[in-house]
Amino acid sequence: MGLPGTYNEQELITALKAGDDQAFSHLYDHYSGSLYSIILQIVKDPETAGDVLQEVFVNIWRKIASYDPLRGRLFTWMLNISRNASIDMLRSKNYQNSRKNQEITDTVYRKGPVTQTDTDHIGLSKFLGKLQPGQRVLIELAYFKGYTHEEIAEIEEIPLGTVKTRIRNALLHLREYLK
């Protein structure tokens, strides 16, 4: 290990799996901002995003033993937990009921494409910018807006198989860019 309280990814994973509280604090300090940003892009409400973030870190703590580094990086695994928890929140009955009586905000009147996403603050825009525009839109809808493949096919008016193929190809391109 490097300086006290610093970890490379493998050391961090090992310490987390051993139940090291200091490693978990390090994980929270270094990743909570990025995960919160992703959650907030999906749920749109800062208070709800904070609740989801808390749930995400509880899930990470409980499920760290199931993390397999051969299947992807730690951040990708945490990102998927965050995304799934955000989507689960959006689909929950309590959340749906709480949103029914919300005041209409000025965002309803904003011009511009629905798929416009600000990913600069987490460093993804330079990679998403390398994708073809059609691929970028699908990635934004699926991973930042929380739409299912079926919903994307309906929104974009393209066949479901085409959506799945384009998303898979975009993810393969992103994987290459991130190496």
Terminal Cα-to-Cα distance of the chain (whole angstroms): 23
Per-domain residue ranges for the chain?
1-102, 114-179
Please give the pLDDT value at position 122: 52
* pLDDT means over runs of 10, the chain (179 residues): 68 93 92 92 90 94 92 90 90 64 49 45 66 84 81 86 88 78
Domain 114-179 has CATH 3.90.650.10: no
Residue type (1 letter), 47: E
Q: How far apart are CA 128 and CA 46, in angstroms?
A: 25
Contact between 163 and 152 under an 8 Å Cβ cutoff? The reply is yes
Long-range contacts of 19-22 (CB under 8 A, 24+ apart): none
Tell me which fold the domain 1-102 belongs to.
Answer: Rna Polymerase Sigma Factor; Chain: A (1.10.1740)
Please give the pLDDT value at position 92: 77
Please give the pLDDT value at position 141: 82
Residue 118: CA count within 13 A, CB half-sphere: 6
List alpha helices for 18-91, DSSP H.
21-43, 46-63, 74-91
